[in-house]
Amino acid sequence: MPKTPSKPVAKRATKAKVAPEKIEAAFFDVDNTILRGSSSFLFGKAAFKRKFFSRKDFVNFAWHQARFIARGETAKTMNEIKDRALGLIAGHRVEELSVLTDEVYDDYISPKLWPETVRIAQQHIKDGREVWLITAAPIEIAEVIALRLGFTGGLGTIVERKDGVLTGRLEGKPLHGKAKYKAMKHLAAERNISLKRSYAYSDSVNDLPMLTHVGHPVAINPDKVLRTHAKAAGWKILDFKKRELRANR
C-alpha cells in the first residue's frame, strides 16, 4: 500500500530576543568643572596638614594651583601636579589615604564645589540618568565626591598598591584626554549607556575626545580654546564666578 504522506509539522514561532533599552548618563570632569581649581592640590593641602611632606613642597603646589586656575588645564601642568601628588603619597599605607581623602572632601573640596554644577548633576539623577565623575585625579577623590553628592560613581587614575602600601606609581595611564574618553566608552558598553543620548561637562580642550562623543556636550568655565570650539559648534557654555562659592559656606 502506498504510504500516506505525513502532515507537515507546524513549527513554533520563536520570539526574537529584544535587547534591553539603553540608558542615559551624564559625565563630569572634576577640576574646574565640579570644583574650582585642582583636586590634587587640595589633596596636597590636606597631606601637608598631616605632615606628609615639607613646607617647600607645599609652596610649589600652591604655585601650580594658581597657574592652573589662571591658565586652565594643560598637559604639562597636569603632569607636574600629578607627579608631585604621587610623590607625596608614596610609602604611605592605603588606610592613611582613605582617611586623608575623607578629610580632603570635608575641609577642602566641599567649600570649592560649584553650586550650579552640583545642582545640574543632581538634576540628572532626579531625571533618571546615571552621573559619573571622570578625572585624572586619584580614583579615591572621584569616589568620595560621587558618594557624598549622591552620584552613581567615579572613575579616576589608579595608584599602584603593594602589600597595602602606595608605591607612588600608576596602574595604567592617567585618565586624561583620550584615556578619559576610552574609560567613558568602556563604561558605556559595560552599563548599556547610549552616548548619543548622554551628556558630558568639562572646562578643558583636553576633554574634546569625551565631549565630542556624546549627544549633549557642555563647556563649563572653558579655557580659551574650548570656548572657541564650543561657540563654533553651538554648544552650551556655562561660566561661574568665585563669589558663587559662598553658597557652600
Judged by DSSP in three states, 19 sits in: coil
The residue type found at 218 is: V
Q: For residues 218 and 229, is the Cβ–Cβ distance under 8 A?
A: no
- Pick the catalytic residue: 29, 203, 207, 223? 29
Cell for 133?
A: 565623575
- Pick the catalytic residue: 31, 203, 207, 223? 31
* Among the listed residues 167, 30, 187, the one whose alpha carbon sits nearest the alpha carbon of residue 86: 167
Instruction: Please state at what angle helix 139-149 crosses helix 115-126, rounded to 10 degrees.
Output: 70
Cell for 60?
A: 610649589
31 is catalytic: yes
Residue 126: partners with Cβ closer than 8 Å, 6 or more residues away: none
Catalytic residues: 29, 31
